Structure 1
Amino acid sequence: MTKAREVLVIGGNRYFGKRLIARLLAAGDRVTVLNRGSSPAPAGAVALTADRGDEGALTRALGDRTFDVVLDQVCYTPRQAELARRVFTGRARRYVLTSTVEVYEHQHSAAPVRESAVDPLTVAVDTGLPWDDPEFLDWNYGEGKRQAEAVFAAGPDLPYASVRVAHVLGGADDFTGRLAHYADRIRSGAPIAVPPVAHPATYIHVEEIADFLFWTAGEDFTGPVNAASHGELTVEELAAEVAVRAGGGEPRFETTDAAEVSPFAFRRHYGMDNTRAVRLGFAFGDVRRWLPRAVAETLGGTG
C-alpha cells in the first residue's frame, strides 16, 4: 500500500489551484492549504492561516509540520522566495513553484523557447526593488517570477521545480474576462484592437495544468519546465472560435500602434517548447482539439 503524502499548497483556492487540490485529495494525499484566510480550505484539507510574507507568522502556523512536497501557487517576488527557502529548507523534500511564460518576456524568438532560454542560475536577484508596491509588481510580473526562480535555484538544499505555465483557458470559473472581451465585441460589432503584427502563442487548458502540477508533485526532476499544450493559436483563431459560441457576428479587427490592445494579441511570439516535459513523461493535449470546449465552458453552452 502506498504511503499517503504530506502535501502543502500555498494559495491556490481558485481556478486551477482548486482543481489541483481536488486531485491531491482524490489521490489520498494528506493536504494542508495555507492562505491568509480569505477563503476556506476545501473539505478534507487542513487549513492554516498566515501571511506567507510574514516569516514569524508562517513559522508559527506551520508548527512542527514537515512535507513531502510544497506546491507554491502564489510566490511572485524574490523576497517571498527567500523567506520560503529559509522556512522550508529541512521541512520539505520537494518544492514546486508555479511560474509563468512571462519569464520569457525578453526572448524574441520565432520558434518556441526552451527552458534554457532563461537559466535561473544566471538571473540577478535584487530584493531591494519595491516588490511590496502592487503597481510595481504588476508591471514587473515576469521579472518577479524570474528572480523568485533564481532564489530557489541558488539553494541546493531544497530540491525545486518551477513550472512555467502557458496562458490558461477554459472553465466556467475563468475570472480573467479575456474571452468575454471578445464575445462582447463580436456581439456588439465593436472592433478588436490588434497590433500591426500579432504573433501566436501556446496555451494550456485549466484541467491540463491542474493535471500537470499534480504530476510534477510526484516526480523528482528539478529546475524549470515548460507547461503548454501542443500547437499554437493566433488571435484570429481564438476570436473565430469565440464567434461560433457568441451567437452570431464576425470578428472585426482594427490595427493600432497604441500600447493597449485586446487580450492574446501579442506583439511578440509567446510560444514555449514542451519537449522537456514530454521526455519526462507528461502527455499534453492538442490546443486545437480542446479549444472549442474551453470557449464553451467559459462563455456557457456545450462544447
Structure 2
Amino acid sequence: MNNILVLGGTQFFGKRLVERLIEEGKNVTIATRGKTADSFGDKVNRLILDREDKDSIISALKGQTWDIVYDQTCYSPQEVKDVADVLKGKVKRYIFTSSQAVYDYGTLHKEENFNPNEFKYEFKGRREYPGYEGYQEAKRAAEAYLFQETDFEVVAVRFSIVVGRDDYTNRLKFHVDKVLNDEPIGIKNVDSRYGYILSHEAASFLYEIGQSSFTGPINPGCAGDISMRELLDMIENQTGKSAIVTDELNQTNASPFSLPGSWSTNTEKAETLGFTFSDLHKTLNELIEFYKSENVKVVNK
C-alpha cells in the first residue's frame, strides 16, 4: 500500500507521520488549506481543500485513488461524509485520528466502552460543536459515520493527550513555565487523571496501523494515567519550586489540561498487537526537564 493521502500533515505528529511515510518510500499527497508552510519540498504532492467547503473537497479529490487515507483534520461527521462521498470505491483503508474523548469521563477505558456502530448522530458542521462536550460529540459522530456508512477498512485511533518537544500548543510547557515563574495555575480538580502519548510514537503508530490489516477502534499510548496533582508534584521535584494552584480560572491561568473530568484509556489491545510505548512517568519527566532548560535559556538571554 504505497499510494497515501494525508488530510492535514503539516503540524505536530501529522508532520511526523508524513516524514515517516516519505522515509518508507511511499507516494504521499497532503491535502490542506495551504495556509501552513511545510518542509517536504518536492517529496510530496499537494492538494488545496477546505474541510468546511464541500465543493473544494470535490474539486481536489475527484478522479483520484489512494490505498490509504489518514484523516488528521476532521472535526464533524459532515466533514468525513463529504470526503467519503468523493472517495467511495477509490480508497481501501481509512485511518481516522480520533480521541480518548469519545469515552465518557473516566479512567482506563477499553475500546468497547464506546461502540460507534450503535451511536446515533446527526450531520452538523464543526462550528456547531462548542467546548469539550462538542468535541466529544463530533469525534463520536465522525467515527459512527465511518463505521456505519462506508465500505472502507476503518481504523479509529483514539489518542490520549499527545505530548512532545514539538508540541506547538505548549500545553505541558505551560505548567512548567507557570511553576518556574511563580504564577498561578487554574485547575478545577487536581485529582483528574489523564493518559498521554509521545508525538513520535503517535506518528509511528499511525504508520504501522495503516500498513496492517487491523480494523476497528484502538487505544494507543503510554500505559496507565496520572493525576494533575501527580504531574505538578513531578514538576515541583524537578524545579525545586512549589506550584501555585487556584480553582478560580481565567484566560491567563487556566490549565490546558483542566478538563471537566478524567480521560484515560486501557492500551492492552494495542500492546497485544505488538505495539510498545514509552513509560508514562519517564516520558513526562524527560519533557519537564526539557521545558525547564528551555525556560532557563529564555531567562538568561
TM-score after normalising by structure 1:
0.86
Partner of 2:212: 219
1:144 maps to 138
CA contact (8 A) 1:125 1:150 kept: yes
What corresponds to 1:253 in structure 2? 245
CA distance in 2, matches of 1:134, 1:147: 12
**Aligned pair count?**
292
Residues 241 and 27 (structure 1 numbering): CA distance in 2 closer, same or farther, change over 3 Å? same
Q: Taking structure 1 as reference, are residues 58 and 207 closer, same or farther at Cα in structure 2, changes over 3 Å only?
A: same
- 8 Å CA contact 1:170–1:297 kept in 2: the answer is no
Alignment of 1:1-303 (within 5 A): 5-41=2-38, 42-43=40-41, 44-104=43-103, 107-109=104-106, 111-127=107-123, 129=124, 131-133=125-127, 136=130, 140-171=134-165, 173-196=166-189, 198-243=191-236, 248-255=240-247, 261-298=254-291, 300-301=293-294
How many angstroms apart in 2 are the aligned matches of 1:16 and 1:124? 30
Q: Distance in 2 between matches of 1:212 and 1:167?
A: 14
Partner amino acid, structure 1, of 2:170: G
Residue 252 and residue 53 in structure 1: after superposition, are their counterparts in 2 closer, same or farther (change >3 A)?
A: closer
Q: Answer whether contact 1:232 1:271 (CA < 8 A) is retained.
A: yes
- Bigger drift between 18-27 and 264-273 goes to 264-273
Q: Distance in 2 between matches of 1:197 and 1:235?
A: 5
Question: Displacement, 1:126?
Answer: 0.9
Question: Which consecutive residues of structure 2, in runs of 5 or more, have no partner in the other structure?
Answer: 296-301
Higher strand share: 2
Does structure 2 conserve the Cα–Cα contact (< 8 Å) formed by 1:17 and 1:73? yes
Which SS does the other structure have where 1:8 is aligned? Answer: strand
CA-CA distance at 1:40 after TM superposition: 3.9
Alignment check: 8 A CA contact 1:198 1:268 kept: no
Give the fraction of aligned pairs with identical amino acids, expressed as a percent: 29
What RMSD in Å do the two structures reach over aligned CA positions?
Answer: 2.6
Between the aligned partners of 1:60 and 1:191, the Cα distance in structure 2 is 49
Q: More helix per residue: 1 or 2?
A: 2
Question: Alpha carbons of 1:180 and 1:228: their partners in 2 closer, same or farther (altered >3 Å)?
Answer: same
